[in-house]
Amino acid sequence: MAGKCVQCGKKASISLPYGPHKFCKEHFLHFFEKRVRKTIRENRLVQGREKLVVACSGGKDSCTTLYLVNKIFSKSNPVEALLVDEGIPKYRDRALAIAEANCKEWGIPFRRVSFREEFGFTMVDVMRKTGPKKKIGSTCAFCGVLRRRLLNKHAREMKAGKLVTGHNMDDEAQSVLMNVCEADLQRLARLGPISGIAKVKGLVPRVKPLWQCPEAEVISFAGYAGIRHFEGQCCPFKWQAKRNDFRGILNHLEASYPGTMFSILQFFRQAKPLLAREKPKNFKLNSCTECGELTSGSVCTACNMVVKLKGKIN
């Protein structure tokens, strides 16, 4: 790596093109953590002594989030981890083994839950019925809805004040672009370092400390800090995700025009107060007649999906 660290003058270990900034290992770690702390502070992601439950999948983002949340808040706030096993052999089981090992090493209590225990099927079962020729919906769409259901349900049972997720800047920029292209103002308005536009009883607020951290820098931080995480192949069902196309578009723009993703987040930050005014009139949340979770109708999306899947799987 050519050049010197902008902080100490030593040989740089990493170069960030949008600055451009160059750092040695020590000062990059400091730079990254400082930005996370600033995101938490400026967006008031954590309050008082509320319990923080970190959703940890075993990947780089969630393990880095768990590491930093524990480092920053372990002396002031209860910190626990929530692990969701979707039932994908040689992928999620290996990742969660690392997540459990990290929790034990760092002294963090954790709860592990699974799709099989909660719903009676795994994502492998779902994949068999949602492939390209079995059109009852996208595999990733089913997984996302069902995973969010379990995260909120168990975080609430764990009495979490906040559910902390590992969404990074790339994830958020992709979500902004996707919702713009789909003209979905409601979903767009719910994005941000704190998900949602208002507090709703029964929904645990989700916060994203890595909101301003590019994915490439999360990888570097995890490596330099020695944070164990699953480094194998991504989810074998990921190829179906519409998000892949938006990821490719943004990666191309970022490579050509460094700082593009930062600009998208800044645009969104300025637009969010205006988007919050767009909530539908007479909008009301009810308790799902099947599971009791909140929904805008009588039966929630997750329960409708379970019924649809069980009809196909059984």
Annotated binding site for Zn(2+): 5, 8, 24, 27, 288, 291, 300, 303
Q: How far is CA 239 from CA 7, 252, 292, in A?
A: 41, 19, 33
d(CA 147, CA 192): 19
Asked whether 142 and 243 are in contact (CB, 8 A), the reply is no
d(CA 1, CA 62): 28
On the 0-12 / 13-18 / 19+ scale of CB atoms within 10 A, 299 is: middle
Q: Is 47 helix (H, G, I), strand (E, B) or coil?
A: coil
How many CA atoms, within 13 angstroms, populate the side-chain half-sphere of residue 276?
Answer: 14
d(CA 213, CA 169): 5
d(CA 181, CA 296): 24
User: Which segments are annotated as binding site for ATP?
Assistant: 55-57, 61, 84, 166, 171
The identity of residue 205, as a single letter, is P
User: Which segments are annotated as binding site?
Assistant: 5, 8, 24, 27, 55-57, 61, 84, 166, 171, 288, 291, 300, 303
d(CA 17, CA 198): 36
Asked whether 214 and 247 are in contact (CB, 8 A), the reply is no
79-85/110-114 β-pairing: parallel
